[in-house]
Amino acid sequence: MKASGGPDSEENGELIEVLVPGEAAGQRLDQWLAGALEGFSRSRVQALIKAGAVTLADAAIREPSHRIAAGARFAITMPEPEDPEPKGEAIPLDVLYEDAEIIVVNKPAGLVVHPGAGNWTGTLVNALIQHCGESLSGIGGVRRPGIVHRLDKDTSGVMVVAKTDQAHRALSEAFADHGRTGDLKRAYEALVWGAPQRNSGTVDAPLGRARDRVLRAVVTQEREDARHAVTHFAVLERFPAGGEALASLLECRLETGRTHQIRVHMAHIGHPVIGDPDYGKAFRTKANRLPEPFRSAVAAFPRQALHARLLEFRHPSTHMRMRFEAPMPPDMAEIARQFRALED
């Protein structure tokens, strides 16, 4: 009979106990375990045995050829899974600038920045390893080589990556300071529902974890996990429909850089980013006021309409001010175009 647990137990680092039935007496340990543990090859079982992961009466059995006895109870401690080291992959990169120390790219929507649970391949890091070889900075670790800041998977736009440790340290300090005492500037374009009454403003509201461990929410300053968060915004365009602004195009500038900051802050002031699957769900019915086929296009927009348009910083070694811009991607530009067409 197959032992319960199998591969799932390996993923969870659990302990599996198996009892040897009478008919299995005299068999090799590796041979019997390979049949008793669902999803394990004989070579995998042999590796576990040699690593001391299989015990009998609290004593490790390290010989795969060990002959088992009826009624013996073996315990198998499944090792915690190791994160695979990312490999280079031939993923196209839109390179805006590159020298021996940094590379600046225009990240497309849908591309995860670095490997993690559920996304071990097909990330920006995999593309960078292929493109840069071994020149990426190692400070970020094997899964985040050269990464000094991130964009959400479905946010497009400009990113800078360090290719040397010195560049990594300098850029990390700049991003940690968020430009308060330096020259770092970041500007995003966001298509949002409705429009702020004022043409510009600031959202100063601390962020903490929501009930979902991945999501964020505006929280009170007293919360232990509260993190200072400030977003400045300016209205670039208003898209009227029936005398009121049904949507608008904003420029958002970060004074701090918290997870999902712009998305949470815009939702907090009642103007969530169009297409945001996490913070804009309550506003999906806004699309019902649009004519077809635009209504269906907006309702089906597959991501938050957020784009990192501008990144400005000083080069880590030359200290020259560098400025990079990426135009609004076609999917967002089409939504903006159709909103403008409503005015005609």
Catalytic residues: 152
Calculate the CA 25 to chain-centre distance: 50
φ and ψ of 203, to 5 deg = -105, 115
DSSP string, 133-186: GGGS-STT-TTSTTB-S---TT-EEEEEEESSHHHHHHHHHHHHHTTSSS--EE
Q: Count helices and strands (H / E) in the chain.
A: 8, 15
Half-sphere exposure of 109 (CA within 13 A, CB side): 18
Residues 6 or more apart whose CB falls under 8 angstroms from that of 281 comprise none
- Tokens 């298509």 correspond to what residue? 191
Helices 42-50 and 29-36, packing angle to 10 deg: 120
E strand map for 57-116? 59-60, 73-77, 95-98, 102-107
C-alpha closest to that of 249 among 261, 238, 260, 240: 238
Alpha helices for the chain (secondary structure H): 6-12, 29-36, 42-50, 124-132, 165-177, 261-268, 294-299, 330-341
